[in-house]
Amino acid sequence: MKKVVKIEGLDCPNCARALEKEINKIESVKEAKIDFVASKLIYESDDENALDEIVELSKKIEPNARILEQKEKQINKKFVLDLSLLLAGIAIGVCVLTISMPIWLYWTLFVVSALLMGYKTYLKAIVLLFRGTINENLLITLSVIGAAAVGQSMESLMVIGLYSIGKILEGLAVDKSRKSIESIVNLRPEFALVLRNGAEERISPQDVKIGETILVKPGERVPIDGRILEGTSMVDLQSLTGESVPVSLKVGDEILSGAIVLDGLVQIETTKKYEDSAVSKILNLIENAQEKKSKTETLISKITKWYTLGVIVCSLLVFGIVYGVVGDLSEAIYRGLIFLVVSCPCAFAISVPLSYFSGIGNASKRGILIKGSNYLDACAKLNVVAFDKTGTLTTGEFEVEKVVCLKDGLSENQLVFLAALGEQNSLHPLAKSILSYNTKKLRKVKNAKEIAGHGVYFEFNKNKYFVGKTENESKNTIVGVYENELKIGEIELKDKIKGTSFDAIKSLNELGVKTVLLSGDNKEIVEEVGKKLNVSTFVSNLLPEDKFEFIQNLKKNNKNLIGYVGDGINDAPSLTLADVGFSMGIGGSPASVEASDIVLVDDNPKKVSSAIKISKFTRKIVWEDIILSAGVKFCFLLLGAIGITGMLSAVFADVGVTVLAILNSIRALKYNPK
């Protein structure tokens, strides 16, 4: 059974990786993975005691790690204790370095100071070394011991003191970013107030059934998607869509879970189960986003596994070369130790995943759910975006303009009734419009079969019927109704362009992204919409397989990275084929949401360009961190090897560049894609 628990107190990605490796050695654990940035431990086990074993192991290897049961007050006490010991160590170290004293007292206080400042670092280095794992803790431990051994006791204490201070600053920066991201997705409802047998019951949202009535009071979050039965209210949708202006909802309007009712009591009829509601989908998408990593993130992760061992080998080479050239053993050891300190991989290992996580968190805050950093990377490189028309660039809410009967004795109401019989089980937007226009009670039909892009076949009263779109030269959509292969009437419907679609295409054109409109409607309709929106290319009369083939042909040009935006079940193949698939979160079918890589919560196509801008900015941050970290470290490695800089400069280089990279990464969380 797969389980997810919160793990806090891990501020070092290499330490997290080492702990993950050891947890995987536990016999009762089939597979374990630590998501460092999201502070989660995901493990698979059939043993109920597995978590107890994991907790005991983590206490030995990572005393700071806290799994599940620890409370915030305990965390604060732990932080205060660690800081107090560090300050005591620094105070004793200052006395050792400034006050004249007997040699035995000098070395006694030196050891006490070094232990107070870094006992956890040394302990982790020893425990992991005996378990076959080498990481940065060993690099720092060797540097402290080595510097003291060659008579550089001041630099020895400065190394561990500055390193420990740096780890605290690093932890605070990471924690700040984590809290910012957690506040974005703090949507999970604690309860639902259900009306049962005239009484109010406070129960878990997971236990509420479809069709039940729930009450939501002013200031509360809506726990489950539904339709308003009674009451009107201004509703805050910012946590879902990123829009700060409240909207007014009335009886009959759809309302999403996660929305906050600002004024007035509302009664809501639930239309979905909790697990299928907007808030549940958002949480699942964000929680699973880190499982799909970008190539850059994966490469950094793979490199850091072998990085520390490589650093030790290179340090020995520096020692050998310096000793061979200058012939001074102490100087050679000292320069080798500088190499160890500068080479700590924290800056790379933390900043890259933190940048991607911040970018994904920023997008989530704006109603753009990116399912993984690999899709964020791909989104930044898109140069073509293809759109479905109905429900994506248009509202998908068709209005019946005209009903034409072609059979003698057949009334308009009867024709609409026959069409509604076939459409009653369809999810197509045209079907919903015809059903809402019908005034007669529907009955069961036989052998109903829907063919995507064509229409619905069925049998009723011993006659065979077909309801589907008809080729025409009108600027409206025509649905034909056939009885025993003879056309008996037509229903003319009109769709409206979304107001946000104009800004969506304009923004993409300004970014230099080519826009394409792919639709199953006739040439006149598609041409009118395409020209109004200023789309680069528009193609009409396409079946789902034709759209798929069109995108396939675009992808044959290796220079094209294709995005596809759609909302229907018939868009699922194209969403899957595209390099990045965008689906509509509210109006989109479950199949399209599942097939897509990015979900636009409020069905706003303008957010495609926002997603691209956030992705581009995040990639820029990632490469800034990589270049900054690599550049600074390379310079100090070179200067240290030739004897220009000392160990204090090396520590400042390591700690400083790590903190700078983390602070730079957090910029991806604050970026506004305007």
Task: Count other C-beta atoms under 10 Å from residue 41's C-beta.
Answer: 25
Q: Do the beta carbons of residue 493 and residue 398 sit within 8 Å? A: yes
Q: ∠ CA 375-550-429 to the nearest 5 degrees?
A: 80
Rounded to an integer, what is the distance from CA 536 to the centroid of its chain?
Answer: 31
Rounded Cα distance between 192 and 213, Å, is 10
**Token pair 């929305």: residue:** 259
Does the annotation count 388 as an active-site position?
A: yes
Q: What φ, ψ does residue 10 adopt, rounded to 5°? A: -95, 110
Non-local (6+) Cβ contacts of 390 within 8 A are: 396, 429, 495, 519, 520, 521, 567, 568
DSSP letter for 221, please. B
Instruction: State how far the Cα of 623 lies from the Cα of 348, in Å rounded to an integer.
Output: 10
End-to-end CA distance of the chain: 44
Q: Six-digit token pair at 238?
A: 């910012």
| The amino acid at 562 | I
Q: How far apart are CA 253 and CA 249, in angstroms?
A: 6
The contacts of residue 19 (CB under 8 Å, 6+ apart) are 10, 34, 57, 58, 61, 62, 65
On whether the CB atoms of residues 569 and 589 are closer than 8 A, the answer is yes
| Strand spans (E) along 409-470 | 446-451, 455-460, 463-469
* Cα 518 to Cα 121: distance, rounded to the nearest angstrom: 59
Length of the chain: 674
Long-range contacts: 206-213, Cβ < 8 Å, 24+? 206/274, 206/275, 208/270, 208/273, 208/274, 209/270, 209/273, 210/270, 210/271, 210/272, 210/273, 211/269, 211/270, 212/269, 212/270, 213/267, 213/268, 213/269, 213/270
Candidate list 388, 495, 603, 625, residue with the active-site label: 388
Beta bridge partners of 43: 3, 32
Strand blocks (E) in 436-553: 446-451, 455-460, 463-469, 477-483, 486-494, 514-518, 537-539
3-state SS track over 339-359: HHHHCCCHHHHHHHHHHHHHH
> What torsion, rounded to 10 degrees, do the Cα atoms 466, 472, 477, 480 define?
-20
Q: CA–CA separation, 62 vs 48, rounded Å?
A: 22
> 565: which 2 tokens?
């935006």
Q: What are the counts of helices (DSSP H) followed by strands (DSSP E) for the chain?
A: 21, 26
Number of CB atoms found within 10 A of residue 471's CB: 9
Q: Counting beta carbons within 10 angstroms of the beta carbon of residue 674, is it exposed (0 to 12), middle (13 to 18) or buried (19 or more)?
A: exposed
Helix H segments across 228-277?
Answer: 238-241
How, if at all, do strands 226-230 and 266-270 pair? antiparallel
Phi, psi dihedrals of residue 199, rounded to the nearest 5°: -115, 155
Residues marked active site are found at 388
